Amino acid sequence: MTRARTSKNRYTRCGNCGNPALQIAKPFLFGLVASLVVAMAFVMLFALVFVLMKSIVSSAVIPLSVISLMAGCFVGGWICGSVSRQRGLFYGLAIGLAVFLGAWIIGIAMDEKAFSIAVLVKLILLLAAGGCGGWLGSNRVKPRRR
């Protein structure tokens, strides 16, 4: 009697490891770390521009910080969606929410208003950037392996 060959799918080894918390945590943590690194890189770039200009326009600080957080959320969501290859919009929104909560808690600690229109706009922008990045990351065309 011959034995039927079972095919081993290399993608199911880690995907079905039995612990759903690990399946969610891995892409989220990769995306969150990437988000923070990119946001810090943009903050450093904007700080360098301010130093080279030798003048700081106070009205430009907050929009540039929001732009750097949005870029970080987009890249973090994209990496999160790329790693998970599924549910990219969900992961991107989670990255945007986590970055917003971190920035909001730091803002409260620095005596800013806890709730305002600016906080709501920042929440919407970060969620949109993270969601778009996650959606694009999970839907990008994957190269075929030979």
- According to the model, what pLDDT value does residue 12 have? 45
Report, as an integer, the average pLDDT of 74-82.
Answer: 91
Question: Is a pLDDT exceeding 80 seen at residue 4?
Answer: no
| Mean pLDDT, all residues of the chain | 83
Q: How far apart are CA 32 and CA 16, in angstroms?
A: 23
Report, as an integer, the average pLDDT of 15-30.
Answer: 74
- pLDDT confidence band for 84 (50 / 70 / 90): confident
Q: What is the DSSP letter of 55?
A: -
Q: How far apart are CA 92 and CA 53, in angstroms?
A: 35
Domain ranges of the chain: 21-53+62-138
Q: How far apart are CA 35 and CA 37, in angstroms?
A: 6
pTM for the predicted model, two decimal places: 0.77
Q: Closest Cα to residue 75, out of 116, 114, 132?
A: 132
Which residue intervals of the chain are DSSP H helices?
Answer: 12-15, 20-53, 61-84, 88-109, 117-138
